[in-house]
Structure 1
Amino acid sequence: MSPSPLASAPRLPGGPLIAFYGDDYTGSSAVMEVLSFAGLPTVLFLGPPTPAQLARFQDMRAIGIASVARAQPPEWMDAQLPPVFEQLALLKAPISHYKVCSTFDSAPHVGSIGRAAEIGERVLGGDWHPLIVGAPAIARYQAFGNLFAAIDGTGYRLDRHPVMARHPVTPMAEADVRLHLSRQTDMPVGLVDFVAMKAGRAEQQLADQRAAGARLIALDVLDDETLAEAGRLVWEHRGERLFAIGSQGLEYALVAYWRRAGLLAPEAPTAPPARAAHIAVVSGSCSPITAVQIDHALANGFEGIRLDATHAVDCQAWEREIARGTAAALKALEAGRDPLVFTASGPDDPAVPALSHAIEAAGVAPAQVNARIGDGLGRVLDEVVRRAGLTRAVISGGDTSGHAGMTLGIYAVTALAPLAPGSPLCRAYAEGAHDGLEIAFKGGQMGRPDFFCAARGGAANH
């Protein structure tokens, strides 16, 4: 691999280093986690910030904005992304990042990474756009452009992954990120592979790919060595500014390179959160990983409260279901148990096809119903936290976190303590009652079986 002489980059520049926009809330908090616990203070806004809100966080080294873009059609992106990308440009960070899921959740009709890349290129510029998805810390790996993810130590190519191959909205039928993106954009996609990285030929391969016309260039990441090399390629070839696409793997790569180059202090230990007296959890995830976490929680002091999501096709029926769930959660707290309000327990739960049938029978848009479900879970959490005076909560599910988070009226979060890679415990900033709330946004595929118990406090969940 190429050397990293300190003479060429003696120190990190001042001001924000990275400005990022996340296509869901859980993934956005994962970026904040990587940077914050590396010693780079980061704030994540849960929507485009006002000037006054930005002014509250003047010393941050990274500034992010979370969204629900992963669940939106290209027409939504055409309307919503340009102004927020223009806001990112005003921060003048050397790197702007469109954050995508580490399992590349996307399709031409929903959450299109290709459409976001086209818009970002027009607004944020840059001579090339690195694409980094692999992140060994969360068991995501890329080899020859193909993406792999591991569950319990077993790796799967993404199109054969037990979760992603069956994803209810964006099932992964192609593991090669170049081919997957080619269905979403006409932008030429290239590759710097791990063999070139390990043989010291990454510079030449990057130059060759750019000369051949590639504008999006995927960088393989398999291990710590290729992670740091990917970070070096991004940082040393950023030009005046660079627009990148990727998971939190981009930040992991930059941090790895900055540490290797002596620009950032070595990793320091972080303390787990103290135990909370009680905690409330809402979950709209259908992941089998979340299902295991729900089962573990119910066996360890949590009270399971199922919401019938089929009622969400009718506004009045859904209002009644929200009221019922809220009352049950408050009753659980009175009995000394922690409420866990959920709509499904894994992809094989009969509630999943039941909701699909209800949506089809009612003739309503699935996106509208999913947003209504997320909003309803947020309203349950809002009422329970307020009335019970809770100081800690968890929202599980990427899309759910976006809709429920907006309902809580939180406008920003900062990282407090690690729970699981990609899902830190955060400090909420709000104009109203939830200012100071400790909250975690958990992706459906993140965390060990004891995640909800770890969020309640006591031990870190790595």
Structure 2
Amino acid sequence: MTTTQQAAANAPLLGCIADDFTGATDLASMLVRGGMRTVQIIDVPHDTEPVAADALVVALKSRTIAAPDAVAQSLAALAWLKKQGCRQFYFKYCSTFDSTQTGNIGPVSESLMDALGTDFAIACPAFPENGRSVYRGYLFVGDALLNESGMEKHPLTPMTDPNLLRVLASQSTVATGLLRYDTIAAGEQAIRDAAAALRAQGVRLAIADALSNDDLRTLGRAFADAPLLTGGSGLAIGLPDNFLRAGLLDADKAAAQLPVVGGRAVVLAGSSSRASQAQVAHWCESRPALRLDPLALAAGAPVIDDALAFFDAHADATVLLYATAAPDKLAQVQAQLGVERAGQLIEHALATIARELVRRGVRRFVVAGGETSGAVVQALGISRLRIGTTIDPGVPWTLGNGPDGDLALALKSGNFGSVDFFTRALGMQS
């Protein structure tokens, strides 16, 4: 075997682009469950050194930035993944399909399709394990339509329309369509036939219904040869089996095993989602916690110093430092500071605190919120994460190696996790 042939044989199978940090770990955990050795890369690397993995996930912070910037970053990630030798590509966004009015799901999907030379891709954010399902093109969160789930009040990406066909069409320049549930239930060939009919009509992006993991596996098999898939992490559930059936993957039963990391632990929460509010309230019932006030931060108060002093004063306990707030309180803050500035103040504060806590011996972080997680990971100088055991659907423990050595991180999307997530996560690392 030549050097080129050997490199191709060892190349990653799946190259993924995620539009935020917690979404990247969410997807990576799904692939690890299927036995794929998975590495998460923070931002697009500047080098082209080969990465030993079955799947690579490039984590961007592109969900809420201007659409042209999101497209440019995603295409740069695609170019790097292609140089790594990946065979199939995946654009991962949130299972609540949340985005700005002008993107970025449609613009990024179209650009990736063009770059890969394909004229069709599906869009399926369904994640049944976390209560996200798509039926007749409508997105449900549990038993509620998306616009009645709390997502309509999201501070950055409010979702007021549950009809994904309308949402996607409003962001796209190409024709969009629907792969209905009755087609999905009829099996792989029916899906392929329906996709071919949509293509013949000029449809390039199609919302795909899905109510269960079996639906997602069927979709995965139907599009096993597609150059590009787009969706939430749920759609990836069947991809490892595709590679196994093709003889390209030897499933690694130890793919999720990570070394135990000692040292102190801390919980940092910047998200104000319903799930995060419940998790913070549960923690505060019996454990030490301190809230960071963005208005005090804006006024120049020593909020960061106070948080570090609070941590120091609880040397024998794990503390929660949080900015999580109820919707009315959050609205007041955003009215005074603006949505963008309020978020940036908290992200910067928690990132600065994280850096200082590492100097104090903290080696285990539980972080709530996608934007917060991205800010913390970048502040800690971590460029790659190994993906470990799942804590709750969509949230694994990860291992990052920064300038200060190994750090264990659980990076949680604001909407994910059970009410006792913080304590259970820490229990798995004790």
TM over 0.5: yes
TM-superposed CA distance for 1:30, in Å, is 0.7
Q: 2:383 aligns with which of 408, 411, 416?
A: 411
Q: Is the 8 A contact 2:37 2:252 kept in 1?
A: no
TM-superposed CA distance for 1:125, in Å, is 3.0
Q: 2:146 aligns with which of 153, 158, 167?
A: 158
Distance 1:195 1:231 in 2: 16
| Deviation larger for 203-212 or 124-133 | 124-133
- Map of 1:134 onto structure 2: 126
Distance 2:318 2:81 in 1: 39
- Map of 1:382 onto structure 2: 355
Q: Mark the CA change 1:174 to 1:88 in structure 2 (over 3 Å): closer, same or farther.
A: same
Gapped runs of 5+ residues in structure 1? 1-12, 361-365
Distance 2:73 2:391 in 1: 32
Identity, % of aligned pairs? 27
Q: Mark the CA change 1:377 to 1:92 in structure 2 (over 3 Å): closer, same or farther.
A: same
Distance 1:275 1:62 in 2: 24
TM-superposed CA distance for 1:79, in Å, is 4.4
Amino acid at match of 1:229: T
Tell whether 2:307 aligns with 1:325: yes
Amino acid at match of 1:160: E
Tell whether 2:423 aligns with 1:441: no
Count of equivalent residues: 420
Q: Is the 8 A contact 1:274 1:457 kept in 2?
A: no
Q: Mark the CA change 1:199 to 1:244 in structure 2 (over 3 Å): closer, same or farther.
A: closer
TM-superposed CA distance for 1:313, in Å, is 4.1
Q: 1:62 aligns with which of 55, 61, 76?
A: 55
Q: Could you report, residue by residue, the CA deviation over 1:42-95 in whole angstroms, capped at 9, with x for unpaired residues?
A: 10011112327x44x3x2011111111112122432543332332223233222
SS state at 2:320 partner: strand
Q: Mark the CA change 1:217 to 1:370 in structure 2 (over 3 Å): closer, same or farther.
A: same
Q: Mark the CA change 1:36 to 1:222 in structure 2 (over 3 Å): closer, same or farther.
A: same
Amino acid at match of 1:108: Q
Q: Could you report, residue by residue, the CA deviation over 1:216-243 in whole angstroms, capped at 9, with x for unpaired residues?
A: 122221123312110012104x2xxx12
- Map of 2:336 onto structure 1: 358
Tell whether 2:327 aligns with 1:347: yes
Tell whether 2:135 aligns with 1:143: yes
Gapped runs of 5+ residues in structure 2? 1-8
Q: Is the 8 A contact 1:43 1:63 kept in 2?
A: yes
Distance 1:199 1:88 in 2: 34
After superposition, the CA RMSD in angstroms is 2.7
- Map of 1:420 onto structure 2: 392
TM-score (norm 2): 0.89
Tell whether 2:279 aligns with 1:289: no
SS state at 1:40 partner: coil
SS state at 1:447 partner: coil
Q: 1:221 aligns with which of 196, 199, 210?
A: 210
TM-superposed CA distance for 1:261, in Å, is 8.4
Which structure 1 residue ranges, 4+ long, deviate > 4 Å from structure 2? 256-277
TM-superposed CA distance for 1:119, in Å, is 2.4
Tell whether 2:178 aligns with 1:178: no
TM-score (norm 1): 0.83
Q: Mark the CA change 1:174 to 1:256 in structure 2 (over 3 Å): closer, same or farther.
A: farther
Amino acid at match of 2:410: A
- Map of 1:429 onto structure 2: 401
Q: Is the 8 A contact 1:289 1:346 kept in 2?
A: no
- Structure 1 residues 242-281: aligned runs within 5 Å: 242-255=227-240, 278-281=264-267
- Map of 2:115 onto structure 1: 123
- Map of 2:289 onto structure 1: 304
Tell whether 2:101 aligns with 1:105: no
Q: Could you report, residue by residue, the CA deviation over 1:269-304 in whole angstroms, capped at 9, with x for unpaired residues?
A: 97899796641011110012111111222234x311
Distance 2:45 2:135 in 1: 38
